[in-house]
Structure 1
Amino acid sequence: MSEPNASSASPSTNLAEIKDLSVSFITDAGSIKAVDGVSFTIPRGTVVGVVGESGSGKSVTARSIIKLLPETATTSGAVMLSKRDGTGELDVLSLSGEDLQRMRGSEAAMVFQEPNSVLNPVYTIGWQIEEGLRAHGMKDKKQLRAKAIDILKKVGIPDAETRVDYYPHQFSGGQKQRIVIAMALVLNPGLILADEPTTALDVTVQAEILDLLRLAKDEFGASVLIITHNMGVIADLADQVVVMYRGHVVEQGDVEQVFYHPNHDYTKRLLASVPRIGQQLVVRDLDGRAIEREDDWRDQPIAVEAKGLTITYPGHLMQPDFVAVDGIDFTIRRSEVLGLVGESGSGKSTTGRAIAGLQKVSGGSLKVLGVEMNGVKERDFKPKRADIGFVFQDPGSSFNPLMTIAQNVAEPLIVHGKYRDVAEAREYVGDLLEMVQLPRVYMNRFPHELSGGQRQRASLARALALKPSLLIADEPTSALDVSVQAKVLELFKRLQAEIGFACLFITHDLAVVDMLADRVMVMHKGRIVEHGDTEDIMQHPQDPYTRKLLASLPVPDPREQRAHREQLHALLAQG
């Protein structure tokens, strides 16, 4: 007896076919169409990259393939998924109940963007991997555990026999993403749907995850649909590319055709927005003249000076103290941009917070605008706080959601006594928003009513409200789409040239640093491993860690990226 909704046709060359798919959502404001007439195929044994910016409909399209949509969604069109064993195909949108449950995991599985939203903190990762196997009929406890250990080994989790009993909080971000991929692979599905699987990861960890998805295709024989806004990731992994914009497919083809001969203007804009090593960022005025700083930063006085700076976090529950920053030396001159690069846990954000007076100094010396921070009392440092601006990585969490944009931006002005209230500061706040290219009408909106890029601009306006002489920018563009990131970086460079503030720009993206920074400082495990002029470090890196960082950065060029990947594997082989 044939399975419901499955045909008995011979195996197709395509694993999945999306035909004229449309998805709408019912909201209080009426029906909103998120996906409009999308059609493309996923051939067997290939990686298809769906690329587009936030709101393009790419995640909704991927979720439709396994019918993982909320009840408010209405769909039309068809999603045909060929069964892995070649016995026919499933009409996914017509599946329900047990048929849908059987299909998920065994025929197609999803890897979500944020592993913390998938992994249950109260269960071991072994139990969570076994849960999928139990749902598909496996009951033997020894067999379940053996399967979980085996898949953890395959995705590169060290000491899998022991760590199968660990909880999610005992793993790093990259390891948690590997575990989520293991959960998707354990039932050996024919299709892996990976939704922005590398967005929040360091470049070296990102390279490892991309290798793992490549393994899913080569060793497990799965097709992979990867959703991303990173064109470098697409160049590294994809065989075919689908470009989405405002719910429509605007271009599709093999990876070389899309990268080297793009047809649609949107694809061309996406490719042009990607930061690359060696690409200079030049901002111009209305007459087309390049905007440059009036004075050479090398001749300016020192704004920040660290000598043997050490920052230690005390241990708890018999754990030893953790040295986050280990005896580093550096300076930042007025009107200079110093790029601070390193992976998560390298100590770069801790360094930035110490400069802003948000983290105590444990040892050595740190002078900020003439104030020694080692042992400083708040009453002595408070007058200097008005001279320091801070741009946070996630403006959504740094803004008060109950306050309007005007109230949020005006807050430091009121705290430091420049204005009595928001009404008095309103004209100046409007000027600040226009300076960061946001219309004055945005003053009355709340943070959730702005896009990510607009919130980041408002965050920059707030940081510059008191006209600081020192700005600390902590990963200010890491969560933005590439075209929005390009606009924010251009705005940042323009304001820095016009105002001339000293800046510590913290990031893990070397291409962004190359566009903005005068000098680069590379941190690894609390220490500075390389320090010098940006061009020298980027073109002639001396430290193996810096070379590994550069080789891990995916470039938006498929041919160049292949050579790049081989270089990275050679560096890793050397240890």
Structure 2
Amino acid sequence: MTASATPEAAVLADDLAVEYPARRPSAPHRALDGVSLRVGVDEIIGIIGETGAGKSTLARVLAGDLVTPKGTDPAPVIVGGEATVLGSRLRGIRRRELDRVTFKVAHLPQDAASRLTPERTVSEIIAEPILQRDRHYNRKAIGLRVATMLDAVQLPLAVLDKFPFELSSGQRQRVAIAKSLVLGPELWIADEPTAGIDVTVRGAINDLIGRLREEGSFSAVLVSHDLSLLRRTTCRVAALESGRVVGLGPIDELLAGGQHPFLSGLADAENRVTADGG
């Protein structure tokens, strides 16, 4: 279904159930089970949870990553409920409509830094999404946009002509972030955006997300273990366990509430780190 030009929410998950199809010898795997979540227009929400909780699957579904290229792992399949992104329902969506939706959505996968095209320079990598849309786009304008994105993630212009193998893991992650945001998406689905990035540079990523939100027409779902990032950028956080939402609210309220063992454990771990640091 095609929705209105001004959707009521950037994301709506309603009793969403998602499975990975059976592949011999593995049986079908239920990754999400009854997830309901709303991300308002211009709202940034965080997702937390232990490994295997369904965080990356939720990110893939909301990013429209529902088609499996040949020879790769299976794509998630919506088997119950619904996920609506920028006003379009994803369950059973046709490929042409999915392409229209994802035109406005950027996805930073969990392993984004390792997916950078190895034979291309940083400049070419960041420009990829632009040239995929329009091969004849003005090269001077592309260069300016690439330089602007490099500055936003605090990378020097000297890396423009470098290849991924010449960069540190944190630098590659920042290149991946710049690439994912170069087109100015309406919705950013980011899975561990600060992974591998030095703590001294993470503030720049926080500031970038904050600026994008202040500029308007920008919503985001941030899957992250980085509590500092979530505190500084998100309105609310959803905690997942075994494919279900077990907590939803501002991050500090969730940690203080002790409503679930995972959240209590997370709060205790943070308190221990704070005590050791003091």
Q: Give the TM-score band, short-chain normalised.
A: 0.7 to 0.9
Instruction: Give the superposition deviation at 1:458.
Output: 2.0
Instruction: Give the superposition deviation at 1:511.
Output: 4.2
Aligned equivalent of 1:546: 263
Instruction: Give the superposition deviation at 1:447.
Output: 1.8
8 Å contact kept, 1:453–1:488:
no
8 Å contact kept, 1:308–1:364:
yes
2:55 to 316, 341, 348: 348
Q: For each residue in 1:19-66, what CA deviation from the matched residue of structure 2 results, as whole angstroms up to 9, or x when unmatched?
A: xxxxxxxxxxxxxxxxxxxxxxxxxxxxxxxxxxxxxxxxxxxxxxxx
Aligned equivalent of 1:132: none
8 Å contact kept, 2:255–2:266:
no
**Aligned residue pairs: how many?**
261
> Runs ≥4 in structure 1, deviation > 6 angstroms?
none
Alignment of 1:152-301 (within 5 A): 301=8
In the aligned structure 1, how far is the partner of 2:146 from the partner of 2:225?
Answer: 31
What is the SS of the residue equivalent to 1:555?
A: helix
Is 1:331 the counterpart of 2:38 in the alignment? yes
2:157 to 440, 444, 455: 440
In the aligned structure 2, how far is the partner of 1:377 from the partner of 1:364?
Answer: 17
Aligned equivalent of 2:126: 409
Is 1:558 the counterpart of 2:276 in the alignment? yes
8 Å contact kept, 1:522–1:528:
yes
Is 1:526 the counterpart of 2:243 in the alignment? yes
In the aligned structure 2, how far is the partner of 1:445 from the partner of 1:499?
Answer: 33
In the aligned structure 1, how far is the partner of 2:26 from the partner of 2:253?
Answer: 41
Is 1:388 the counterpart of 2:105 in the alignment? yes
In the aligned structure 1, how far is the partner of 2:10 from the partner of 2:86?
Answer: 5
Cα–Cα, structure 1 residues 416 and 559, in superposed 2: closer, same or farther, change >3 Å?
closer
Cα–Cα, structure 1 residues 419 and 388, in superposed 2: closer, same or farther, change >3 Å?
farther
8 Å contact kept, 2:82–2:89:
yes
Instruction: Give the superposition deviation at 1:414.
Output: 1.3
In the aligned structure 2, how far is the partner of 1:524 from the partner of 1:425?
Answer: 42
What is the SS of the residue equivalent to 2:13?
A: strand
Instruction: Give the superposition deviation at 1:398.
Output: 1.9
Aligned equivalent of 2:29: 322
Instruction: Give the superposition deviation at 1:383.
Output: 1.7
Instruction: Give the superposition deviation at 1:420.
Output: 4.0
Identify the structure with bigger relative contact order (alpha carbons < 8 Å, sequence gap 6+): 2
Cα–Cα, structure 1 residues 452 and 490, in superposed 2: closer, same or farther, change >3 Å?
farther
Cα–Cα, structure 1 residues 461 and 486, in superposed 2: closer, same or farther, change >3 Å?
same
- Letter of the 1:313 counterpart: Y
- Unmatched runs of 5 consecutive residues or more in structure 2: 1-6, 67-76
| TM-score between the two structures when normalised by the length of structure 2 | 0.84
Is 1:358 the counterpart of 2:65 in the alignment? yes
Alignment of 1:453-464 (within 5 A): 453-464=170-181
Cα–Cα, structure 1 residues 431 and 491, in superposed 2: closer, same or farther, change >3 Å?
closer
In the aligned structure 2, how far is the partner of 1:411 from the partner of 1:543?
Answer: 43
What's the RMSD between the two structures over aligned residues? 2.4
In the aligned structure 2, how far is the partner of 1:408 from the partner of 1:541?
Answer: 44
8 Å contact kept, 1:307–1:366:
yes
Identity of aligned residues (%): 32
Cα–Cα, structure 1 residues 319 and 438, in superposed 2: closer, same or farther, change >3 Å?
closer
Q: For each residue in 1:465-491, what CA deviation from the matched residue of structure 2 results, as whole angstroms up to 9, or x when unmatched?
A: 111110011011132332233443333
Aligned equivalent of 2:13: 306
Higher-Rg member (1/2): 1
Cα–Cα, structure 1 residues 448 and 335, in superposed 2: closer, same or farther, change >3 Å?
same
Instruction: Give the superposition deviation at 1:418.
Output: 7.1
